[in-house]
Structure 1
Amino acid sequence: MASTDTRTDYRVTYLVLCAGVASFSLLQSMVNPVLPTIEAALDTDQATVTWVLTAYLLSASVFTPIIGRVGDKVGKERMLVVALLALAVGSLLAALAPSIGVLIAARAIQGVGGGVLPLTFGIIRDEFPREKVAGAVGTSAALLAVGGGIGLVLAGPIVDALSYRWLFWLPMIMTLLAAAAAHWFVPESPERTPGRINLLSAALLSSWLVTLLLAVSQGHSWGWGSPITVGLFAATVVLLPVWVYAEAHSDSPLIDMRMMRIPTVWTVNLVALLFGMGMYSMFAFLPQFLQTPDDVTGYGFGASVTQSGLLLLPQTVATFLAGLYSGRAAARFGSKAVLVAGATLTSLGLLALVLFHDHVWHLLIESTVLGLGFGLAFAAMSNLIVDAVPQSQTGVASGMNANIRTVGGALGSAVLASVVTANLRPDGLPIESGYTHGFSVLVVTSALAALVAVAVPVVKVVTRSTADDAPATEADGAAVALEPLAR
């Protein structure tokens, strides 16, 4: 473990953190395009193979805020190593999985790695010079979207050249190296939140997240009016307020409800929900649109998995470049302005996709605009959250923001699946209007995200006598001091 007396150079720390984030983000999307391949290889059916995605989604949603909070309490570097090792163990098990059941269990273990992102933001805030924090947080946040795009690009060539099992071998190697580097080169955090880990809060949080996401992700196949779907939504309606009440009255809350009520935090979280609906849905459905056989349906481009990934490469590059630029843009214009710009670009790119999608060059321009929007918005959301909360709560606040984006993605994908498949051709493929109507829904959610972003209060970080005090905010030009939250 890196010594706390002689701190590792923050640039070395940053390289290690980026490797961890990249490994997690690759595993989010690499598997999506090759589910039919896995279905055939493991002799299962379509309904069962979708659990390869669902298990990962549920696990990551549960563990992202929990691992972030535990890191705030016991040490971020220590929990970063744990999260990376969970990714590596899950990847090893997935690569060797002899059956679909084992693969689903392996994906659930991989989901523990969701804690990598909030821990990364917390370590950056602890270790980096103040003037470097915005750029570092922005770039590492954008890596999550970049990794998602790269996963779509690499999946086809890897499967063609090797096999689908290498979609897990390669991330396993990356995460093992990242875990070793984190142990040796990432210094332990000087910031700790006192108190115990509230197991009841963790159980309640896990319960309502699982019931909500299970209903949302499986409702399309189970039927939205089926007893199990309705029952899960009803359980969520009961469990969510119980969790909020328990947290609000706990001496040692897992997630401080006072923190969640900070104007900057709850408005950015609302943006995250709406923005996640658009971004993650596009990761799932744009490749499907590109792969639709145009000679049969009259739309689409008949691309292979590999070709559709390559067509989306400009989007990935644009996301990465926007993430790199976001720090300088935030320093000049403010993170709020960057967030508004990112959400606006996303809605414009989606609107263009609805109106113009007949030629490859249309898709290349539109997906590039979307990539710019993704990179800017991801970076800005993370910076706004990091600046708005006490340093001791960076991990859990960032974890909840990432989690809310994931919930938004699950909601958006479910809505889009219902709209796209509402009317099918005799051959089982969606009609063209299914996609245009679905993408139109995402135009609305992205435009709403931009409007909410306009209302996000500007955060002004001030120096306090203790590290656990919250920053002040500026609203309508007047500075309003927040009460200390982490006592």
Structure 2
Amino acid sequence: MGSSQAAPVQPVSDTSVRAIVLALAGAGVVVTIMGTVIVPLIPTLPALLHTSSAADASWAITATLLAGAVAMPVAGRLGDLHGKRRVLIACTWVMVVGSSLCALTSALVPVTAGRALQGVGMAAVPLGISIMRDVLPPARLPGAIALMSSSFGVGGALGLPISSLIAQAADWHVLFWLCAGSGAVFAVLVRVVVPESPVRAVGRFDIVGALGLTAGLLAMLLAITKGSSWGWGSVTTLSLLGTAVVVLLLWGAFETRVAAPLVDLRASAQRPVLLTNLCALIVGFAMYIITLVAPQVLQLPGGTGYGLGQSMLAAGLWMAPGGLAMMAIAPLTARLTAARGPKVTLLLGTGVMAAAHVGGLGLLGSPVGVTVFSLVNSCGVSFAYAAMPALIMGAVPPSQSASANALNSLSRAIGMSTASAVVAVVLAHLKVPLGTATAPSLTGIRVCLALGALIAVVAGLVALTLPTGAGQRSFRAGSAGPSGPAASTGSGGSVGSGPRPTATDDPSPTSVTA
């Protein structure tokens, strides 16, 4: 494999930094709204899509998750090879096309296809974090990453009340026109104000690896997301789980033998990367429990004795402060990470999340109480999410940062999907009669919160095993600023004129010093 020349690294002014962060974080918020934009439509989705089966209509929800899970590692590797900004913009435009398709039709199949295209946009967040590493000055990187990481929560929290309001006041297709329009705006904004990353990996795109990972992830996530409706012991569910295990094992064996793998499993097996991805999975699980439980408590009828009888719009508004808090405390998480290291930030985040779940056991009696423990949980998530990119980027070469961050985001998505399945099982078995139907029991709600607290503690114990000082170099030598690896000098000694880091000539994680 040969090496190519890196583009000169241009100084970035304070105004440019703010514009870059605004464009990337805004794009992150827009694409993450895709996950919740359809939630207010769930009760009427079969009628809206002209199908008599709620299970069929649910594919419009599942398709986004599946497409996002597949798109993140694939887009991450394409970004490392061909330009992260280029791939981020492409993913955003795919999301715009998908949103437009949903806005133009009311049929199940095209809406499901459009929702799948919307899911491709989820790759924008890990790509955006990697771009920040490559183009921002190291001193500005912690705050930028914290803000970008918070877009996961901000998009989810804001999407629910916004989509509820529009769904009540206008035709449901307006939701998707809004998604298409905002996506187009940020795609153009990124194109105008964000410079392309000067860092490239060298090698061919691993098509076989991409197909293998896609097949394995689809089988696994289908089993997880549909297992409760198909039956966990059904032939379909068990067959999919067995297929996922076999395909992913074969895929892993193949990836360790190919010269330019889709996912560098050897780099991913390094202790900081492996443990951080495990934390991402566990934190995603714990975080999503409150995301699932709190709206149900808010919307259950007061006749249950613990339901708060709120409308969908009101429930969304009660949940919104949590997402806004994630953005508000981003500067604090950045300062803590820069001063004490991302390991400390991650530990604090998991501790706050555990406290939120425990506190939730006693705060279920009012909308304010639910908002409080949801907000505290969001603050913990913000600390944890801000720490993970730093831990990842402190352990992998710059030419692998997009694919490594994408794998971390994928781990988080798998954790969230697993939490959804587990909560569904718990609440299905612990229920009370509600007229002619059933509702989750108070015991079921409490079991879920206690489980979330336990899982958050487990995440903290995993974080404790991270090496001391893990990730701290990512803010000192992890960006394309004057002290970053993308600014390494060549034989001529001028900044930015040397060879671009490649899969073979990147410094190893242990060889980079501040």
- The one-letter code matched in structure 1 to 2:132 is I
Q: Does 1:184 align with 2:192?
A: yes
Aligned to 1:444: 454
Q: Kindly tell me: are residues 52 and 324 of structure 1, through their superposed partners in 2, closer, same or farther at Cα, counting changes over 3 Å?
A: farther
What 5-or-longer segments of structure 2 have no aligned partner?
1-6, 478-483, 490-500
What is the aligned counterpart of 2:251 among 236, 243, 258? 243
Aligned to 1:430: 440
What is the aligned counterpart of 1:207 among 212, 215, 220? 215
Q: Kindly tell me: are residues 4 and 49 of structure 1, through their superposed partners in 2, closer, same or farther at Cα, counting changes over 3 Å?
A: farther
- The one-letter code matched in structure 1 to 2:450 is S
User: Could you tell me how far apart the structure 2 residues matched to 1:367 and 1:432 are?
Assistant: 17
Structural RMSD (CA) = 1.9
What is the aligned counterpart of 1:40 among 22, 40, 47? 47
User: Could you tell me how far apart the structure 2 residues matched to 1:27 and 1:236 are?
Assistant: 26
Q: Deviations over 1:19-55 (max 9, x none)?
A: 2101111111222233113333223332122212210
- The one-letter code matched in structure 1 to 2:195 is P
Q: Kindly tell me: are residues 195 and 46 of structure 1, through their superposed partners in 2, closer, same or farther at Cα, counting changes over 3 Å?
A: same
Aligned to 1:334: 341
Q: Kindly tell me: are residues 449 and 33 of structure 1, through their superposed partners in 2, closer, same or farther at Cα, counting changes over 3 Å?
A: farther
Give the Å deviation of 1:216.
Answer: 0.3
- The one-letter code matched in structure 2 to 1:46 is A
Q: Using structure 2 for the length normalisation, give the TM-score.
A: 0.88
Q: What secondary structure, in the 3-state scheme, does the structure 2 residue paired with 1:249 have?
A: coil
Checking the alignment, whether the CA contact within 8 Å between 1:321 and 1:375 is kept in structure 2 is no
Q: Does 1:117 align with 2:125?
A: yes
Q: What secondary structure, in the 3-state scheme, does the structure 2 residue paired with 1:428 have?
A: strand
- The one-letter code matched in structure 1 to 2:120 is V
Give the Å deviation of 1:7.
Answer: 6.9
Q: Kindly tell me: are residues 374 and 350 of structure 1, through their superposed partners in 2, closer, same or farther at Cα, counting changes over 3 Å?
A: same
Q: Kindly tell me: are residues 298 and 394 of structure 1, through their superposed partners in 2, closer, same or farther at Cα, counting changes over 3 Å?
A: same
Query: 1:79-118 maps to which residues of 2 (within 5 A)?
Result: 79-118=87-126
Give the Å deviation of 1:482.
Answer: 8.3
User: Could you tell me how far apart the structure 1 residues matched to 2:210 and 2:180 are?
Assistant: 28
User: Could you tell me how far apart the structure 2 residues matched to 1:218 and 1:136 are?
Assistant: 37
User: Could you tell me how far apart the structure 1 residues matched to 2:323 and 2:191 are?
Assistant: 30
User: Could you tell me how far apart the structure 2 residues matched to 1:185 and 1:311 are?
Assistant: 35
Checking the alignment, whether the CA contact within 8 Å between 1:139 and 1:326 is kept in structure 2 is no
Q: Does 1:470 align with 2:513?
A: no
Shifted more, 392-401 versus 8-17: the winner is 8-17
User: Could you tell me how far apart the structure 2 residues matched to 1:203 and 1:213 are?
Assistant: 15
- The one-letter code matched in structure 2 to 1:131 is A
Shifted more, 381-390 versus 72-81: the winner is 381-390
User: Could you tell me how far apart the structure 1 residues matched to 2:165 and 2:59 are?
Assistant: 24
Aligned to 2:30: 23
Give the Å deviation of 1:217.
Answer: 0.2
User: Could you tell me how far apart the structure 2 residues matched to 1:361 and 1:98 are?
Assistant: 37
What is the aligned counterpart of 2:206 among 198, 217, 224? 198
Q: Does 1:382 align with 2:389?
A: yes
Aligned to 2:305: 298
Aligned to 2:260: 252
User: Could you tell me how far apart the structure 1 residues matched to 2:512 and 2:134 are?
Assistant: 21
Checking the alignment, whether the CA contact within 8 Å between 1:148 and 1:283 is kept in structure 2 is no
Aligned to 2:464: 454
Q: Deviations over 1:72-97 (max 9, x none)?
A: 00111211110110010011011122
Give the Å deviation of 1:292.
Answer: 0.3
User: Could you tell me how far apart the structure 2 residues matched to 1:324 and 1:63 are?
Assistant: 29
User: Could you tell me how far apart the structure 1 residues matched to 2:137 and 2:318 are?
Assistant: 38
Checking the alignment, whether the CA contact within 8 Å between 2:9 and 2:198 is kept in structure 1 is no
Give the Å deviation of 1:226.
Answer: 0.3
User: Could you tell me how far apart the structure 2 residues matched to 1:316 and 1:343 are?
Assistant: 17
Q: What secondary structure, in the 3-state scheme, does the structure 1 residue paired with 2:31 have?
A: helix
User: Could you tell me how far apart the structure 2 residues matched to 1:209 and 1:108 are?
Assistant: 15
Q: Deviations over 1:235-270 (max 9, x none)?
A: 111111111111111111011112101211111101
Shifted more, 283-292 versus 341-350: the winner is 283-292
